[in-house]
Amino acid sequence: ELAQELAEELWGSGLPGDLPELEPECRSLLAAFAEGSAALTGCLGRRARPVRLCQGCSGHYRRLLGQYDSIARAVGNSSESHNCAKSILTSDRLQIVVTLSEFFNETWEAANCANCLKNNSEGLSNSTEEFLDLFNKSLTCFEHNLQGQAIDLSPNNYTEVCKNCNETYTKLNDLYNHLQRMNRQGGESAHSAHLCIDVEDAMNITRKLWSRTFNCSFPCSDTVPVIAVSSFILFLPVVFYLSSFLHSKQKKRILILPKRIQSNANLVNIQEKYS
């Protein structure tokens, strides 16, 4: 009890030297960052499956960036106080606030959320909204045709889904491939080769349903070139053996031709000799 009273007395009056208590302004900034970190963590956890990080957590992420920036720029009001940035960010070995900030930045960058958002990060880009609209239409089509097929005695027969949803799925797949090509052409970093995680996960879900669950076939746009090249390669041996055969036959004819000419010449000489 005596030690507790002494500690309360010391902390209440403020410790001298290198262990000052945080100013009210610094405590307020730290509390705001802690609340922002908790809110962003909760949002990421709730939207981890199916992945909806970029769609639902961009507001939390932007606010946390602002809160960290406020700490980094804050110097405190008292002339005798420590700099708020130094006290909160770099005063200990763990540097919890810095570590948390780096974790959120790395997670956001790995998710490529910037590729789904507008330049100012306020709202989804037009191409992302178009993709998500087609994605929702595809899922709605799947669900609608599955309900209409419920009376079918064979549960693995999804012909209605494949037939009625082929157009929507084709548009979705074509748009995804187009976005991938555009993104690869305009990006230079390692992460830029990927679309944002929300779009990638949505496309993976749709493709698995289409090919594995419903066992629908989807004609690939590269089928014709592949067939043409394969046919050409398979036909090469035929061309080779045919050309070899014709070449050898012509060569044999050329070799035989002088003998015949020579035989005819000898025959003429013999006839002239005995005539």
- 95 within some domain: yes
- 4 within some domain: no
Number of domains, the chain: 2
- 272 within some domain: no
Could you tell me if 80 and 43 lie in one domain?
yes
| Residue 172: domain span | 126-213
Could you tell me if 93 and 130 lie in one domain?
no
End residue of a domain, out of 60, 84, 111: 111
Tell me, what's the pLDDT at 33?
A: 97
| Packed helices 53-73 and 24-46: angle between N→C axes, nearest 10 degrees | 170
Could you tell me if 138 and 176 lie in one domain?
yes
- 265 within some domain: no
Per DSSP, the residues of 180-217 read HHHHHHH--SSGGGS--HHHHHHHHHHHHIIIIIS---
- 50 within some domain: yes
pTM given for the model: 0.68
If the chain, 275 residues long, is cut into consecutive pieces of 10 residues, what is the mean pLDDT of each piece?
46 50 88 97 96 96 96 68 81 93 97 90 91 97 81 67 96 96 70 84 97 80 52 63 65 53 54 54
- 144 within some domain: yes
- 121 within some domain: no
Could you tell me if 132 and 92 lie in one domain?
no
Could you tell me if 93 and 67 lie in one domain?
yes
- 62 within some domain: yes
End residue of a domain, out of 195, 213, 231: 213
